[in-house]
Structure formats: C-alpha cells, structure tokens
Structure 1
C-alpha cells in the first residue's frame, strides 16, 4: 500500500487583493440550483526532464486574482445566496507519495474502487465557513505528478473548472496570465445580474438509505463507438441528423441507459418507466441575451428523456438513441425560442421541478442522471511538464448515473459510472458493455 506524506498545508491567498467593487458576488439562479457539494477532478502527469512543482503555488495565487470568488466564503447571513470575496484563501496541500509509478498507482486505485484516489484529493467539508476550492499536489517517487482539485459546485460548472485549470496552467507555463484584446476574458457576475437567485420552494430530496455505491470507469474508443453506430438502424422517416448520425455522447449515453433498463427489467421482472436526466450547457445557445459564451459560474439547464412502459417497446439501442436525440433537439429548440431571461428562468425551474418529482417517486420508476464533460479542454492543461496523460472526475459515489469525458485522443469517451454494488456487477458483465469497452477500470 502506497504511503502519503503531507509536506505542507496552507491557506493560499490571491497574489493581489480583490477590489472593493468585487467584494460581494451574488449567486445566479443556476448557482442556486447547483448541488451543495464539491466537484472533484484529477489531472495526472508523467515524469519529464522539466518536472517541477515549484511554480505551481505562485502561479495559482496569481490566477486567483482573476478567479477571486474561489478564495472567498459563503455569506452566513443571507441563506448562502452570495459569496464574500474576502481573499481568505484556498486549501493548498503538497504531498509526497511513497509509490514509484503513478500509472501503476492509478491502476491499483481503480481495482479497489476510489479509496486510493480519494487520498490524492484535498479533504473538503461543505460548510459556510469552508474554502470553496481545494488543491492537492502529489509528487511520486519517479517524478510523476497528480493534481487533485475540488471546487464547490455552487460557483463552478465543468466549463468554469476547465477554464480555471487552463488559465492556471498557462500562467505557470508562461509566467503571465492570458490577455484578450477583444475583452472576451472569462468573468463572474454576468449571470447573476441577468438571472438573480430568488426565494424558491422546491421539494427536498430525502437522504439516501441505499446500499453502498461503487464507481467504475469504462472506455469506449472510437472503433467501439463506430461499431455501436452501425447497429443503429437508419430511420428513413426522419431527416434529423441527430438521429441518423448520433454524436459520440448520444451513442454512449443511450447505451448506458439501455443497459441500466435491462438490469432493472431483470431485477423487477418487468419493464418500468425509465428517465434519464442530463445537463445542457446554455453558453452560446441564447439569442435573447448578450453573448455569455465566457461567463463563469453555473450556466446549465436540466433536461430529461423518458421511455415509458409500452407493449410495443423493444428496448433496442435505436429506441434510446431516438429518445435521447429527440430530447436534446427539443430542449435546444425551446432554449433558442426563448424571448427573454424570464423564459429561460421558467424553463430551468420547470425542468428542475420535474426531475425532482421523478426522483421522489423512488422505487416506482427508474431515474438516472448523466453529465457530459466532453469537448472541454481538459487535456490542454500544460503546467510545464507536458499535457496530462489522464484526466478523470472522482468521488461521485452518491447517485446512480454516469459522467462522460473525452479520452485523450478526443475520439473516444471515458464513462465514470456510479451504481449500487449489485447493479454494478451486472453492468460490468452485460454483453453490450463487454463488447464495447475493452478497457474497464
């Protein structure tokens, strides 16, 4: 078993104080609806002749001047609807891992679920007084480096996290922060000014009493995805390219949903209504508001696909691809037709309410969640020792569902799947999974 030694731990502050006019950041409606939890992700780097982590701390402090809310704290007297950007700092930990080989360590971590991966992540507890960002830099005996990051979901979606990490890497590599003469620098505050948080009366989800959840990683390479596409029959009655030529994300998302419904049918002795919720990035999709393609914070809306019990239902991959494709298309059409910010707010709240309603039905239906982090520049983060050889989300052992990310070559998809232990055993052995994922972790 590898041993981890903490070399230093500090509260790292931005290199320059946040200006007075930016001291309070009000949350947006989208921030308000985000889970009150941390998003955890690992960036793993092989050793190189330039491997050095001496510049990481200084460049992070400089980057925090642009991402100043990360160094703040929740306000305690306003129901956590704002961030006090008071420069209290972020949790910054440096460790030495007594293991020779980073890839071997990660292989062991996969084999024993996520306990070893959790060791190389910062320990964070979601409380009003807690840091909103934690970073842990782990150096292995051979010079390999794993950077573990946890960010409060309330202030960051996947786009925001990817933007932050790449800005930090750029600053570390070049010694300067990104400059943009077109004033398109990512910024906070735009969303809350257009979509302010409000008093909500959404139903609360009960605490889970289910058996232990486990997480596994499944890699669908380009060939596997293409082979799956070939099994999808061409529906000549539609001209929709999303159905005729489904994207990698739609194919993999649909296959995972299909396998989960197969498992449910076998377990319950019959088919049940099944729902798949997923997030849609709103950046660049709204015509009713100024361009917000670089807005930081949370800027997604939820949608869900449903497949109801029907005597004619065959539960073929086609069925799931069509339902997922139709749902994404209809959601994007509705977003594009929105004529005001109020329309978008209402759409977002209605979708959120419907998804919560499905989850509250418990064992009467099957409800799963997915999130795609594809097409984001995760593998561009070069701190000076090359690009990461593997990037992965970590620590989602709480709900049934999957996170999808690009593989390093950009052509495949890594699916991080979280299920109840017994269901995971069946998922791993399902023929559709065995035939499509030569790599299982």
Structure 2
C-alpha cells in the first residue's frame, strides 16, 4: 500500500482539513507505462462522482472539441439536501472520527474470480430460504461478514460482554430517489444500510443484507431530506465509526459496475485500477476486476483482527 500511495499527489486521509478539492499526479514509468493518481475531497464528491469526473476528463482529452458530455450539475444536491442547521456541539463528530493510525491497520486484497463467485452464490443460495438468486456483491458480502463474525467470536470468547454484529453498506441514492437522478449528478449522494444480525445462529446473511439495503428507498430518501432523517443518518454514522460497546461492525462499499475501466485518455483502457490504504478499521471496498466477471475485495482490519481473520481462515481460500 505504501508503494501505491507514492502515485498520489497528496497523502490521503489527513483528516480532510485541507482546502485542496482536487489533486492529480501523473507518473511515468521507465518502460513507457503511465499511472494517473487522483485525489478528490469527500467534502464535495463521492466515489461515483469522482469516477464520472475522470471519465469526462478522459473523453475531452481523447476527442477534444468533438467530445459530447453531460456537464455536472453542482447546484442540484444542495437544493435537494439543504445544509443542516443541526447543532453538533458535544456530539463527538469530527473530521477524524473513525480514522485509525497507519500502524494499527492492515489492508489485504482478496480476488474472487468467476469460479469463486459462482461457488459463493451457490453456497449463499443454499443457506438462504428467502433469496433465490443472490447477486455477486450480496454473496461476497455475506461470505466476508460470516468470517468476520467467526473471527470476532474467537477474539471475544473469553470476554464477559456478549457481542452483536452489524454490517453496513454504503448505498448510492441516485437510483433510489423519486424520480431517479442521473448517475452524472455530482455530489455526496449515499447513505448507510444498517444490518444487525437477527441471532447468532441465523446464517441467512444474504437475506438480512438484502432486506436492509432495500430499505434505502424513495421514502427513506424523502425522510433524509428533513431534519429527523438527517439526525438518524448521523446517529448511524456515529455508531458505525465509534466501534465501541457491545456491537462489532463491518462496513462495505461497493464500486462494482462503476465505469472505472472505461477511462481512456487516448492510449487505451487501464491495465489496473485500484484504491489506496483506508485508515478505517473493519472496512471492505469491493471493486470489479478488469475482465468484469470477478471482484477485488480490499479488506482493512485492525492488526489484532487481522490475526484472527487471516487469509487462511477464508475457506475455500480465494486467489490472493
């Protein structure tokens, strides 16, 4: 991860207290290869906004004046989600909430190829009596959450506090609004789907995850646009990132199907696209592989959790 970060223009995860909205660094290799590192402030954009921005930039570079792009609408999101007047004094919210030190987290990349995904979907379908055709993201999420629960129970098996387990999925709100917003809508348009296990014995995790994700619907977004919904959203964020008390959380963000591998500045599509280190404990980023039929899982755990949830516990072991 330290090598990958050298391709970026700034050090990521510095508390987001910088005034820099966008940074780009172009890296040239001795063999003629090029790596483009892009950093965008999360104050103004989510992952889909960043990917769409880079695609538009590449299209203009490739086609010049002939490029036809939909210009981003920077004013739409503030009109739909007006700035809150909520007083957060004493709420423990800060720009560094949930951020860990570099020395206390470990990031691993696990690649699920086409065969891995087919096996996981088949296993998830067998364990669920209520989901007949799980998606690849659902199957991978359930698989990793299951192993996270098992690893955490081993860690706390001699403790006096009984742990419950929570999984969250960052959900893109654009398609869930009424009417839906175009994917090119620029801004931070996401919310958390919060799943708490129904019981330690219930392994139908796919159904639990799907149920909570589908609760992020048009009615939910409408509530999020008023003060009460915003308060609930912030409360869930606070619970998630504090990571204290009787609940152990695992956070998922899926970038699968984002047009990352469609970026072409004129010399062809990327050989590889990736993220860099995320200084948050218990977070998993899912990305489509270049061929489109696999998933890369970037798993960041605390050092102690990584020992319990090592790659050897992922059986059958996915390709590393």
Q: TM-score range by the shorter chain?
A: 0.7 to 0.9
Structure 2 CA distance for aligned equivalents of residues 151 and 320 of structure 1: 34
Q: Deviations for 1:69-115, whole angstroms, at most 9, x for unmatched residues?
A: xxxxxxxxxxxxxxxxxxxxxxxxxxxxxxxxxxxxxxxxxxxxx11
Structure 1: gaps (5+ residues): 1-113
When Rg is computed on C-alpha atoms for both structures, the one with the higher figure is 1
Structure 1 CA distance for aligned equivalents of residues 142 and 66 of structure 2: 40
Q: Deviations for 1:351-393, whole angstroms, at most 9, x for unmatched residues?
A: 3313413544614220121111111100001112111111111
Q: How many equivalent residue pairs?
A: 308
The question of 1:118 aligning with 2:5 is answered yes
- Counterpart mapping for 1:25-40 below 5 A: none
- Counterpart mapping for 1:7-406 below 5 A: 114-124=1-11, 130-176=19-65, 178-179=67-68, 184-202=70-88, 203-205=91-93, 212-234=104-126, 238=130, 243-269=131-157, 272-287=163-178, 291-308=181-198, 310=199, 313-314=200-201, 316=203, 319-331=204-216, 335-337=217-219, 341=222, 344-345=225-226, 346-360=228-242, 362-406=244-288
Q: Deviations for 1:275-321, whole angstroms, at most 9, x for unmatched residues?
A: 1122111112212x57454310111121211115x4xx3363xx221
Q: 2:153 aligns to what SS in structure 1?
A: helix
Change (3 A) 1:408 1:115: same
Q: 1:393 aligns to what SS in structure 2?
A: coil
Q: 1:390 aligns to what SS in structure 2?
A: coil
Counterpart of 1:36 in structure 2 is none
Kindly indicate which of the two structures has a greater share of residues assigned to strand: 1
Change (3 A) 1:128 1:352: closer
Post-superposition offset of 1:341: 4.2
Structure 2: gaps (5+ residues): none
Change (3 A) 1:230 1:127: closer
Q: 1:196 aligns to what SS in structure 2?
A: coil
Contact 2:121 2:139 in 1 (8 A): yes
Q: 2:43 aligns to what SS in structure 1?
A: helix
Contact 2:128 2:206 in 1 (8 A): no
Counterpart of 1:419 in structure 2 is 301
Contact 1:132 1:151 in 2 (8 A): yes
Contact 2:169 2:252 in 1 (8 A): yes
Q: Deviations for 1:416-435, whole angstroms, at most 9, x for unmatched residues?
A: 1100123223323343x252
Q: Considering Cα pairs closer than 8 Å and 6+ residues apart, tell me whether 1 or 2 has the greater RCO.
A: 2
Post-superposition offset of 1:231: 1.5
Change (3 A) 1:247 1:286: same
Change (3 A) 1:199 1:365: same
Change (3 A) 1:207 1:224: closer
Contact 1:303 1:351 in 2 (8 A): no
Root-mean-square deviation over aligned CA pairs: 2.6
Contact 1:275 1:304 in 2 (8 A): yes
The two structures have a TM-score, normalised by structure 2, of 0.86
